[in-house]
């Protein structure tokens, strides 16, 4: 059974606290886990950024702000576990070793953040290496990696395929502060470059697109791989 690691943005799962997008994911994740060993790393999203913004009003340092963000990611992960019920391992994995052990249950393993200064994308990238994943998927609010922010620049070009080295050039120069909202952070891209596991960046707002990509190999997004090879079928 192949392993798949999903980095699921908090802004995808909970765009607003009173406007959750959790239910559409439940049946999709459960069906995927019947065919693949599935790991989901959940981000903090807008809720984490709100907490961090408040912390900065009293001059909290970046490490403290990171700790706040980690707590929110784990809260989001706990919420997803509760929603998945018996399909999920009942406890948020606190590190990669715990995630490996939890996977022995055959259930969906859910994680949040781990270390200050490291995004959940980086956590997911390291996890992909640890579990020898066949595919690492980053589910974001945009349909791939662009030459610029498509929400701000109408001329931004979406890359269909690229190498990790090319992706690194795109993300270099992004701010490395708590709560920053970027396509992927440098640490995550470096891990993708090191482990050579294919990365698919795609729109996560509609989970049916994720399921379709895994079933058919057809997707709208950006594939990052050493040689451009398509990893499908898994």
Q: Which pLDDT does position 112 carry in this prediction?
A: 97
Q: Could you give the CA distance from residue 89 to residue 86 in angstroms, rounded to a whole number? A: 7
231 in any annotated domain: no
233 in any annotated domain: no
CB 135 within 8 A of CB 192: no
Question: Strands 161-162 and 37-42: what pairing?
Answer: unpaired
87 in any annotated domain: yes
Give how many domains the chain has, as a whole number.
Answer: 1
What CATH number is associated with residue 139?
A: 3.40.1160.10
Sign of CA dihedral 196, 74, 184, 60: negative
22 in any annotated domain: yes
Domain enclosing residue 20, as ranges = 3-224
Q: Which pLDDT does position 180 carry in this prediction?
A: 44
Q: Could you give the CA distance from residue 119 to residue 124 in angstroms, rounded to a whole number? A: 9
Half-sphere exposure of 38 (CA within 13 A, CB side): 25
Q: Which residues of the chain have pLDDT under 50?
A: 175-181
Q: Which pLDDT does position 174 carry in this prediction?
A: 52
The model's pTM: 0.92
Alpha helices in the chain (DSSP H): 10-13, 23-33, 45-56, 62-84, 96-103, 120-130, 164-171, 186-195, 207-216
Of 189, 234, 191, which is closest to residue 213 (Cα–Cα)?
234
132 in any annotated domain: yes
Q: Could you give the CA distance from residue 214 to residue 157 in angstroms, rounded to a whole number? A: 25
230 in any annotated domain: no
For 188-214, how does the pLDDT look when each residue is reduced to its tens digit (9 = 90+)? Answer: 999 999 999 999 999 999 999 999 999
232 in any annotated domain: no
């Amino acid at each position: 059974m192949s392993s798949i690691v999903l980095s699921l943005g908090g802004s995808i799962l909970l765009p607003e606290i009173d406007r959750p997008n959790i239910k559409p994911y439940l049946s999709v994740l459960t069906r995927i886990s019947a065919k693949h060993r599935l790991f989901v790393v959940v981000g903090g999203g807008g809720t984490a950024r709100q907490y961090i913004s408040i912390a900065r009003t009293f001059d909290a340092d970046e490490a403290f702000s990171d700790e706040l963000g980690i707590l929110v990611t784990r809260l989001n992960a706990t919420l997803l576990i509760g929603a998945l019920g018996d399909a999920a391992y009942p406890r948020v994995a606190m590190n990669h070793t715990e995630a490996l052990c939890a996977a022995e249950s055959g259930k969906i393993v859910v994680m949040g953040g781990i270390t200050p200064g490291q995004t959940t994308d980086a956590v997911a990238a390291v996890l992909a290496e640890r579990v020898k994943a066949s595919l690492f998927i980053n589910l974001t609010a945009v349909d791939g990696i662009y030459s610029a922010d498509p929400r701000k620049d109408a001329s931004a070009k979406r890359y269909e395929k690229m190498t990790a080295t090319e992706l690194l050039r795109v993300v270099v120069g992004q701010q490395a502060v708590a709560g920053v909202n970027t396509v992927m952070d440098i640490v995550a891209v470096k891990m993708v470059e090191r482990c050579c596991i294919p990365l698919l960046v795609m729109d996560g707002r509609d989970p049916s697109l994720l399921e379709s990509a895994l079933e058919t190999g057809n997707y709208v997004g950006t594939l990052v791989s050493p040689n451009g090879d398509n990893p499908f079928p898994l």
